[in-house]
Amino acid sequence: MPPITEVLTLLGINFAIALASFIILWRVGVAIKDVSFVDAWWALGLALMAVTTFFMADGAPERMQLITVLSCIWGLRLGGYILWRWRAHGPDRRYVKMLDRAMEAKGWSYSKASWRMVFMTQAPILWVTSFPVQLGQMSSIPAEVGTLGWVCAGLVVFGICFESLADWQLVKFKANPDNAGKVFDKGLWRYTRHPNYFGDLCTWFGLFGIAAETTLGLFGIVGPLLLLVLFLKYSGGTSYEKRLTYHRPGYADYIARTSPLIPWPPKRAVAGEKSAA
């Protein structure tokens, strides 16, 4: 296990990098009056934490390479997809509504509202959630990736593939004009309302599993646990589902029969329930 001063120094540098990145993105968001792209930085920023650690740490090369490569594959895939979605569909209505309310109720400028409501807390959260890919690269013992690490690497790959397939299925569904206003309950979305969140959690618990082969990496568990709490309690999924329940016929039935996160066969339709398209 490396000296505590070395660990704290590396974590401190990464925190400064994360904070600087969000300050830069905040200024970009103010300039274009749109902060929706920040969601893409969650994926890209977490991958960045793996890359910066790779160049600063002195851990076991095989484990460092495995963690960094998997983090970059996940981050580039998801970040690129979210950026594409933003450019294709425009500003995220959640951010538009949240900032409009803050500016109207508190008299804030767009700059202050976007910093206080969007960017200010995200740097420390991103830094903490990326602990597995930071702490997991700092120890040189054991020198090689063991059975647990390779099994968890498989979980990471599964999570990336699961999330990618879910995104592709949803994009294909929305591309058909005949599906406008309909509930998508086919493919992976038949078994979980949030296959993208499930894929993310598989990825980050898998990365933690790789890191956990080292003593220091065990402390990285705070990262995926924080992600789990954010997904369940504070993500856009909750507000998104609430809005769809009121505005999309059949969505309440979809919620009633479909697992919120862990893929599971849907519940039997109750009498009189209409099948969603």
The domain of 178 spans: 4-257
pLDDT tens, residue by residue, 242-268:
777 777 778 888 999 999 899 999 987
Q: Is residue 268 part of a domain?
A: no
> What is the model's pTM?
0.91
Question: Is residue 226 in some structural domain?
Answer: yes
Q: What is the pLDDT of residues 211-246, one digit of tens each?
A: 999 999 999 999 999 999 988 877 656 667 777 777
Q: Is residue 272 part of a domain?
A: no
Residue pLDDT, tens place only, 96-116: 999 999 999 999 999 999 999
Q: Is residue 129 part of a domain?
A: yes
Identify the burial level of 212 via C-beta atoms within 10 angstroms of its C-beta, where 0-12 means exposed, 13-18 middle and 19 or more buried.
Answer: buried
Give domain status of residue 277, yes or no: no
Tens-place pLDDT, residues 44-66? 999 999 999 999 999 999 999 99
The tally of domains found in the chain comes to 1
Whole-angstrom Cα distance, residue 19 to residue 167? 29
Q: Is the dihedral of CA 113, 117, 118, 119 positive or negative?
A: positive
Domain membership flag for residue 262: no
- Is 159 contained in some domain? yes
Cα separations in angstroms, 208 against 1, 102, 108, 138, 156: 17, 37, 40, 13, 10
